[in-house]
Chain A
C-alpha cells in the first residue's frame, strides 16, 4: 500500500533521513522505532508532505505522492497524527473533530464516524463543547487520533502517541490503536517506546541516525538481543 524507496530528508545541509526504504502492506500495523533524533518524525513529515524530500520517492496505492500539494494528501487517504498532537487549542473538541472531516461532504457518514469516535473515546463526547486547549495531554492525544479517524483514512500515521503521557493513559491509547488496527486500518506507528510499539505491531523497522538498521517481524525483533540491549534497556 505504501512503498517508500530511497527516501532522504534534509534540513539545510544536514541529512536527517538517509535513503531509507520500507513498505507497509494493507491492513498491517507497522512500527518505526528508534532513539530520539533518529529521524522518525522527519520521515513521517515527509510522507505527510509537511517537508519536501531530498531524494527518493513515495508511492501510495501505486501513485507517486512525493510532489502532491500538502492539503491534497488527506484526499488521497493519508492522515497524520502529528508529534505533540497538534490539536487546535481554541476550537471546541467537536470542531476539532469536524476539522478532521473537513474535505468530506457525506454528512450521514460523517455523523456515523463521529459516533464511532465518541464510542472509542467516550471522554471526548463528554467534553465535546470544551476548547481543546483545556484538555489534558491524554485527552488531546485521543482528540488528535479521533480527528485523524474522522477523515476515514486508508493509512494512519501516528507519531509518538505515548509521548508525555501517564502509563494508564498510554494503555488506553494503545488499546484504541489495537482496536482500530483490528478493524482493518493500515497503520504506521512511530514510537520511541520500542517495547510498546513492538508488542502492538506485526512488523517493525528500527531507525538509527537517519538509516534503517534492522527490520523484521515485531516478535522476532522483540527477542533480538541487539534490540533488547539498545532499545529495551537490557
Chain B
C-alpha cells in the first residue's frame, strides 16, 4: 500500500514534467501537422541555461530564490528565442514541402542542437545548482520532497495559464481557428505565420519550465538528456491524442504513473529478472500499443481541441 502510494506520487511528479513537454509537441502538431522532434533538445537547453545562469549568480553570492528565478527566466527567454528561430529558419521554408521533409529536418535540428550544447557545455554530466528547497514530508507512509510538490504545482499552474490563453484570448482563438482551417483563418485577418510562430514560442516556454523542473528533480544534466525526455513526452502526446491539449496533459500524467508503477513492480512481475532501471521500456510498450490499437490516442483528435 505504501509502495503503491509512493509510486503514484513519483508518477504524478514525473508525469507533470512529461505533460508540460508533451504540450510543446501537441501544440505544434495541432497547428501545422509537424512533429518537432527537436523539442526535447529545447528542453535540454533550458536546463543547461539555468545551470549556467543560476550557478553563476549563486557564485556571485546572490540569494537562492533570486538566482533560481533568474535562471528560470533566462531559460524561458532562451528557449522562446530558440523555438522562434527553429520555426523561422528550419520549418517555415518547408511549409509546402512533402511531409517527410520537415520531419527529417526536425531530426536534423535535434542533432544540431545536441552538438551545439555539447560544444557550449561539454560532454560531462553537470550538477544542477541547489535552487530548490530541500524539505521532505511524510504522508501515510509515503515521502515526498518540496521539489516534487513544486513541480506538480508549477506544472498545474502553467497548464491552467495555457488553457486560459488558448480558450479566453484573441490569440488563443486565432490559434484554434488556424489549426482547424488556416486558409479561412487567414481570410478572417489572422496572420497565420505569426500564429504558427506563437505555437512554437509558447511550446518552447513550457519546455523551458519543464527543463528547470527536470534539473531540480534529478539535480544532474547532460547534453543528451533531451532525447529520451523528448521521446517520452512525444509518447505522452500520442497517448492523449496528438494535437489535443487536454490529451497531452492527461497523457503526460498517465505515462508518468504507468512508468512509476511499472518500475515499482517490474521486479515482482519478472521474478527479479528485470530491475526498476528497466522502467523506460514501459513508455515504449505504451507507444507501440497506442499506435497499434488506438492511433488517435485516448482522447482522439476529432473530439478535442487542437491548437
Which residues of chain A have a CB within 8 Å of any CB of chain B? 48, 50, 69-75, 79-80, 82, 86, 88-91, 95, 98-100, 102-103, 147, 151
- Using known A-B contacts A90-B305, A95-B173, determine if residue A74 contacts B180 with beta carbons closer than 8 Å: no
Specify the chain A residue showing the minimal Cβ separation from B173: A95
Contact with A along B168-188 (1 / 0, CB 8 A): 001001101100110111111
A70 to B182, CA, bound (A): 11
CB distance B188 to A151 under 8 Å?
A: yes
CB distance B187 to A80 under 8 Å?
A: yes
Among A80, A89, A102, the residue within 8 A (CB) of B190 is A102
- Using known A-B contacts A95-B173, A98-B173, A99-B177, determine if residue A88 contacts B184 with beta carbons closer than 8 Å: yes
Chain A residues contacting B184 (CB-CB under 8 Å) are 82, 86, 88
Chain B residues contacting A91 (CB-CB under 8 Å) are 173, 176-177, 180
Chain A residues contacting B191 (CB-CB under 8 Å) are 69, 71
18 further A-B contacts with Cβ under 8 Å, apart from A72-B189, A88-B181, A91-B177, are A50-B183, A69-B191, A74-B188, A82-B183, A86-B183, A86-B187, A88-B176, A88-B184, A91-B173, A98-B173, A99-B173, A99-B174, A99-B177, A99-B188, A100-B188, A102-B174, A102-B189, A151-B188
Q: Does B192 contact A (CB under 8 A)?
A: yes
Chain B residues contacting A147 (CB-CB under 8 Å) are 188
CB distance B173 to A74 under 8 Å?
A: no
Number of contacting residues on B, CB 8 A?
19
Specify the chain B residue showing the minimal Cβ separation from A157: B187
Pairs A–B under 8 Å by Cβ, sample size 27: A48-B187, A50-B183, A70-B186, A70-B187, A71-B187, A71-B189, A71-B190, A71-B191, A71-B192, A73-B189, A74-B187, A74-B188, A79-B187, A88-B180, A88-B181, A88-B184, A89-B180, A90-B306, A91-B173, A91-B176, A91-B177, A95-B173, A100-B188, A102-B173, A102-B190, A103-B189, A147-B188
Specify the chain B residue showing the minimal Cβ separation from A45: B183
A226 to B186, CA, bound (A): 40
Specify the chain A residue showing the minimal Cβ separation from B192: A71
A12 to B139, CA, bound (A): 68
How far in angstroms is the closest Cβ of chain B from A11? Answer: 14
How far in angstroms is the closest Cβ of chain B from A141? Answer: 14
Specify which of A48, A69, A91 lies most central, judged by the most chain B CB atoms within 10 Å of its CB: A91
Specify which of B176, B183, B186 lies most central, judged by the most chain A CB atoms within 10 Å of its CB: B186
List the 9 shortest-distance A-B pairs measured between CB atoms, nearest first.
Answer: A103-B189, A86-B184, A74-B189, A88-B180, A102-B188, A70-B186, A99-B188, A71-B191, A102-B189
CB contact list, B179-210 vs A, under 8 A: 180-181, 183-192
